[in-house]
Amino acid sequence: GGMILNDLCDRDWDALHRPERPIPSQLIHPRTAAIAASVLLSLGFLFAISIAPAVTRWETVLVSALLVAGIVVYNHWHKGVWFAPLIMGLCRVALPLLGFLCATPLSGGTPHGFSVYLTTLGVFTFLITGVARHEATPSAPSRWSEALFFLVPIPLCLGFSLSRSAVFVFAVYGFWILYSNLKHPLPRGVGARVSSRLAAIPLLDGLFLALLFPYYHAQIERSENYALFAQLGFGFFIPSFCFLLALTWRRWIPST
C-alpha cells in the first residue's frame, strides 16, 4: 500500500524524471492507484488487529496506526523535508515490532537485544533514505554517511557473544556493502547503491537471529523440546532466502 501511494504522490515528479513509471506511462490510472493503496493499508491494519493476541491488542492497534500514519506522512511530504528520512526509519522499525506484537504475548518478554535491533534497522533505513535523496541530483552523499553503513551493525553485536554464524553473516554484510561501493562509484551509482542496501536489510535480520541462536539453543537443550531445533534452523535460513530473492527480483522490479 505504501509503495503504491508513493507512486501516486510522486506522479508529477515521475512524469518529468521517470516517465516509464506505471502512472505517468498511463498503465495505471491515478484513481485506481489511490483505491488500491487505501484498500491495502486498511487491510493491513485490520489483519494485524485480527491476529494479535488479546494481551497485545491495544499495543498492536497503536503501532499499526502509527505505521499507517507514518506511511501517509512520508509519501505526501518526503521531498524537500528534512525529517523525511526519520519518518521512513520509524516506519521500518514499526514493521518487526508489529510482527512481534502479533506473534508473541508480552508476558513472554522481548528477545535479548530486541530494542537495539529495532534501532539498528531504523538507523540503517534513515541512512538509505538520506542517500536516496541524491539520486535525482548531481550531488553525492557525504563520505561519513557512506562509512556509517559499515558501522551500523556493531552496536547490535556488542551485547552478545559472537558465534561463528554471526561472524559469517557480519562478514557477508560488510563484503556486500564494500562490493556495492566498488561497483557503483558516486555520484552516478547512487541509485544502484540504494538498491544494494535495500537488499541487505535481510542480512541485518539474519545477523540478529545468528546472535540469538546460541541463546535459544541453550534454552531448547534445557527444555529438552528438541523439535524446536527445526523451527530455529528454519528461521535462521529465512533471511538468506529473502536476500537472494531481493537480488533476483530487482532485475525486473525497480528498487527506487
pTM equals: 0.87
**Domain spans of the chain?**
124-256
The pLDDT score that the predictor gives to residue 140 is 76
Helical spans, DSSP H, in the chain: 2-9, 11-17, 30-51, 57-77, 84-103, 114-132, 143-151, 154-158, 164-183, 190-199, 201-223, 228-249
How far apart are the C-alpha atoms of 44 and 50, rounded to whole Å? 10
Residues 116-131 have pLDDT tens digits of 999 999 999 999 988 8
The pLDDT score that the predictor gives to residue 86 is 94
Biggest alpha carbon distance in the chain? 62
| 37-51, 101-115, 123-137, 215-229: range with highest mean pLDDT | 37-51
pLDDT, the chain, mean: 88
Work out the pLDDT band at 107, boundaries 50, 70, 90.
low
The pLDDT score that the predictor gives to residue 89 is 94
Grid cell, residue 197, equals 542496501
Phi-psi sector, 139: left (phi>0), alpha (psi -120 to 50), beta: beta
